[in-house]
Amino acid sequence: MDKLIITAALTGAEVTRAQQPALPITPQEIADAACECAQAGASIVHVHARLPDGTPTQDKEIYRQIIAEVKKRCNVIVQVSTGGAVGMTPQERLAPVTLKPEMATLSMGTVNFGGDVFMNPPAEMEIFAAAMRDHGVKPELEIFDSGMLTTVHRWLKKGLLSGPQHVDFVLGIPGGMAGTPEALMYLRSQLPAQSSWTVAGIGPAQLPLGTLAILLGGHVRVGFEDNVYYRKGELASSNAQLVARIARISRELERDVATPDEARALLGLKSSA
Ligand code: KMH
Ligand code: ZN
């Protein structure tokens, strides 16, 4: 099995300081959290920008600061969000891709998102895919429900995507596919050949689905964007605490954890050196 790639989803767009007092918000806080996670075993950080008051933003300058602050401190892969927050325009959402980060998320379809609708119309997402290709940014394909994986197959046939894909199953969003082993096993069975995959279990699904992914040869995303708890009723003290636990479980299961450069090699990214 390949070494385990751990992604730390540090901030997200929805979680507040009231829900998780250790939530990183400023570029400095995000960079500190990113490198603490890298130290604990993360090779990718998935980042969302916030204004100083915590409001989600896709402001390119804030993303520029986040990337620069992370690079000053450590060698982790920075993956920017193009999902942003529900209700943002496609133009806003795409802004950080022009900074040519190593990776960016690419949502593969529209999904109910709690009481909201997270809009990802195919024509707009095709533009996102083309922008990532033009800027040399590796997409991580976000799959919230099974039909989105059939879209991946269609896009591969049409040439909108090429080469081995890296897919993230986001499971347990109210309105999306359930955070269950059955859902994960089904999605895994439908992957295009040569794809790598990771799982982002939401809330209580984070730990069991992450553990299952380690056993199945997938990769794992943890962090406050998806889950603010260490265990039922106990908030996590930091993103790094969640990373350290999944790294520990992986090593106990005799699967080594990838460094950022090992993750780059697995994902077909340029080496950092
Ligand atoms: N905040 C969600 C509506 C992504 O980062 O690409 C979308 C999201 C996905 O977080
Ligand atoms: Zn996100």
pLDDT tens digits, residue range 202-227? 999 999 999 999 999 999 999 999 99
Question: Ligand 1: does its nearest atom lie under 6 Å from the Cβ of 58?
Answer: no
Find the largest Cα–Cα distance for the chain: 47
The answer to the question of residue 92 being in a domain is yes
Measured from the alpha carbon of residue 9, the closest ligand is 2
Compute the distance between CA of residue 123 and CA of residue 134 in angstroms, rounded to an integer. Answer: 17
The answer to the question of residue 273 being in a domain is no
The answer to the question of residue 125 being in a domain is yes
68 Cα to the center of ligand 1, angstroms = 22
The pLDDT confidence band at residue 270, using thresholds 50, 70 and 90, is: confident
From atom 6 of ligand 1, which residue's Cα is the shortest distance away?
83
The pLDDT confidence band at residue 273, using thresholds 50, 70 and 90, is: low
Q: Ligand 1, from 120, 142, 166: best to mutate by most atoms within 8 Å of Cβ?
A: 142
Q: Specify the pLDDT at position 173.
A: 98
Round the average pLDDT of the chain to a whole number and report it.
98
Give the domain range for residue 29.
6-267
Q: What is the DSSP string of 119-130?
A: ---HHHHHHHHH
Residue pair 90/127 in contact (Cβ under 8 Å)? The answer is: yes
Say how many domains are in the chain: 1
The answer to the question of residue 177 being in a domain is yes
Question: Ligand 1: does its nearest atom lie under 6 Å from the Cβ of 13?
Answer: yes
Compute the distance between CA of residue 55 and CA of residue 190 in angstroms, rounded to an integer. Answer: 37
Residue 74: is its pLDDT beyond 60?
yes
State the distance between the two ends of the chain, measured CA to CA, in whole angstroms. Answer: 25
Q: Specify the pLDDT at position 158.
A: 96
pTM for this predicted structure:
0.98
What's 158's domain CATH number?
3.20.20.70
Q: Specify the pLDDT at position 227.
A: 98
Residue pair 74/66 in contact (Cβ under 8 Å)? The answer is: no
The answer to the question of residue 215 being in a domain is yes
Average pLDDT over residues 100-110: 98
pLDDT tens digits, residue range 18-38? 999 999 999 999 999 999 999
The answer to the question of residue 272 being in a domain is no
The answer to the question of residue 94 being in a domain is yes
pLDDT tens digits, residue range 232-244? 999 999 999 999 9
145 Cα to the center of ligand 1, angstroms = 14
